[in-house]
Structure 1
Amino acid sequence: MYRNVLCLVLGLIIGIQLTDLFEYFQLTDSGFGSTAITKIEAEEATPQLLTEQELSNWLYNETRVLCMVLTMPQNHESKASRVKRTWGKRCNKLIFISSQADLELGAIDMGVPEGRSNLYPKIRKAMAYVYKNYGEDYDWFLKADDDTFVIMENLRYFLYPYDPEAALYFGHKFRTSFPQGYMSGGAGYVLSRDALRRLNLFALNNTEFCPLNQGSEDRQIGYCLRNVGVVAGDSRDEEGRERFMPMGLRNLLPSFPADGWWPKTTFYAPQSEDVCSNTAISSHYVKSHEFDMFEFLVYRLKVFGVSGFQKSLPYRLDAKQLENQMQYWSKAKTTNSKKIF
């Protein structure tokens, strides 16, 4: 009797196992087996396996950037609208900082009169507004002017290795009286989520850390950030070429010698006449009619036989690597810039 019961139990176990095995082969053949699961897991864990276009689309949600563009009422139609129609549409969130509200454009009245001497108060209020309304909703916060063109895909690609909870910001670094320098406002600068948080919680409400004066907007924000422990990072590429351009692109090409002020004020000495990175992020002093030109050249023009961009993302820095990098940047000194053109 016991033998019969034992045989029955063993038969049931073998039958169940054979059924599972049969179902497994059915799933594999239909495309829902191990191959499909591996692909899904790989895409979630290692986006390097995606195509270049898929990586770009994935980065849109992985590295979220809010763009705040400084403008003025007389530029709403001539410049700001072109920003919105071209590179601005690739931001995760786009707002315009102005002295006049414009619902169609998306411009917000900061209540600060226009004028160069008011740029610093204007950006202070803009930073406070963005932090209050969006401070925890995005990873990075880009400030640009309405005559700046930004290649958002290259910006996200560059930012991807860095933790937005690290206290750092990037742009084109200029030298000044405080050691780590500051980022050019015209070229655009981008703050991490923690940098924006520190600026608002500890700097903007403390005149010792962030004094009220008529200094230039970009230098003063750099001073405020430095006083609350935000590190000014190095955004150059592996060959020492600049990604954020504080001047018009034509003025930084080898055939057009740069104006005398730029080599003397930039934080890092140019390594050669070729100062523009192949993975450039921004260009300043873009004329109204040039926005569509940039849009065409960057996003529509195809060149037969020319190799594409890199096919994988850079690896994220772990906590120790990021700490070492930030310590290095915070201790970095300016290099002597000589006019080499």
Structure 2
Amino acid sequence: MTTILYLFNCILIFFFTIGLISSSSTQQRIYCVIKTFGKNLATRASTIHHTWAHRCDKHIFLTATNLTKWNNISLPILNLYDVSDNYIELSIKVFDALNLIIQQSQPYDFDWLFITDDDTYVIIEHLRQLLYYSIKPLAFGHLFVPKNGAPSHLSGGAGYAINTIALQRMLPNLQTSCPQWYVPGMEDVYISRCLQHLNVSLNGAIDGYHHQFYPLEFLNMYKMDIPKWFSDYNTLKSYQGFNCCSSQSITFHYMTREWMNFIEWARYLHDNE
């Protein structure tokens, strides 16, 4: 119990007292696409819908399921029908969704498309501070650089943002622009390969000597409880304690619903009670 209370206080201090979340923002419009599965609509997706997602300019939950099972769920959903609702075909699901999004009438009603998982907590204010208008095709996220020499790629769990200039390079459709990666596989790797093929710059958002997108949860970073795969892909030194993470952190992956609700209360609802 003592350990739990200690960690609870650490989270409270980091996300509230230290002021990790800033209120300033830019005018860039962000369209958030949250990858989820039918079985998670009433749990993870619902929690995100009622916490950070409403700070996007618009958001939608991407799934491929029989929605008649979830007709009592009131969420903005983009449901796909020609793909299975599983991790194996997650890359196909994201490519299918991108096809629908890029073929919308232009000019788009957003400036950046942000894609992330249903167990990721996002500090939208900090994401807005990072993103800016550019005539160059850009993508931001946590950039993995494998030590085995494989090409770098953006982390899917930490989330990645793509500007509309980059999205336009995918036209007329991804079957034409990136056919070799429009197959089942690792979604973040294949999306990154497609972007690189289209000469889109992949940027690992770095604040001094810290990342801003984290493919691990906050407590893992705080305690330096870091798996080997992260060390094999990471480009920066890890630090213990409050120095673990940027004061402009944007995302943390593998966050439980309980932690999401707690952070929401600590920062946004605490003063209203």
Distance in 2 (alpha carbons) for counterparts of 1:231 and 1:164: 12
Please list every run of 5 or more consecutive structure 1 residues that lacks an aligned counterpart in the other structure.
1-51, 303-341
Deviation at 1:256, TM superposition (A): 3.6
Task: State the identity as a percent.
Answer: 28
- SS of residue paired to 1:279: coil
1:106–1:203 distance in 2 versus 1, CA, 3 Å = closer
Q: Which residue of structure 1 aligns with residue 264 of structure 2?
A: 295
1:165–1:298 distance in 2 versus 1, CA, 3 Å = farther
Asked whether the equivalents of residues 202 and 228 of structure 1 are also in contact (C-alpha less than 8 Å), the reply is no
**Is residue 2:140 matched to residue 1:154?**
no
1:194–1:204 distance in 2 versus 1, CA, 3 Å = farther
Distance in 2 (alpha carbons) for counterparts of 1:79 and 1:134: 31
Asked whether the equivalents of residues 31 and 57 of structure 2 are also in contact (C-alpha less than 8 Å), the reply is yes
Matched ranges for 1:225-264 at <5 A: 225-237=195-207, 239-253=208-222, 255-264=223-232
Question: Alignment length, in residue pairs?
Answer: 239
**Is residue 2:237 matched to residue 1:270?**
yes
- SS of residue paired to 2:32: strand
**Which one of the candidate residues 111, 131, 143 is aligned to 2:115?**
143
Matched ranges for 1:14-33 at <5 A: none
Larger helix fraction of residues = 1
- SS of residue paired to 1:82: helix
When the two chains are superposed, the root-mean-square deviation of aligned CA atoms in Å is 2.2
**Is residue 2:33 matched to residue 1:68?**
yes
Deviation at 1:289, TM superposition (A): 1.9
- Aligned AA (1:285): Y
Instruction: Pick 1 or 2: higher relative contact order, CA cutoff 8 A, min separation 6.
Output: 2
Q: Which residue of structure 1 aligns with residue 143 of structure 2?
A: 173
Distance in 2 (alpha carbons) for counterparts of 1:178 and 1:164: 29
Asked whether the equivalents of residues 139 and 164 of structure 1 are also in contact (C-alpha less than 8 Å), the reply is no
Deviation at 1:211, TM superposition (A): 2.7
Deviation at 1:69, TM superposition (A): 0.5
- Aligned AA (2:144): F
- SS of residue paired to 2:114: strand
Asked whether the equivalents of residues 174 and 182 of structure 2 are also in contact (C-alpha less than 8 Å), the reply is no
Distance in 2 (alpha carbons) for counterparts of 1:289 and 1:134: 39
Q: Which residue of structure 2 aligns with residue 334 of structure 1?
A: none
- SS of residue paired to 1:186: coil
TM-score (norm 2): 0.80
- SS of residue paired to 2:181: coil
Distance in 2 (alpha carbons) for counterparts of 1:191 and 1:214: 21
Distance in 1 (alpha carbons) for counterparts of 2:102 and 2:137: 15
Q: Which residue of structure 1 aligns with residue 159 of structure 2?
A: 188
Deviation at 1:198, TM superposition (A): 1.2
Distance in 2 (alpha carbons) for counterparts of 1:84 and 1:164: 29
Asked whether the equivalents of residues 98 and 109 of structure 1 are also in contact (C-alpha less than 8 Å), the reply is yes
Larger strand fraction of residues = 2
Q: Any runs of at least 4 consecutive aligned residues in structure 1 with deviations exceeding 4 A, and if so which?
A: 176-179
1:95–1:134 distance in 2 versus 1, CA, 3 Å = farther
- Aligned AA (1:215): G
Q: Which residue of structure 2 aligns with residue 80 of structure 1?
A: 45
- Aligned AA (1:147): D
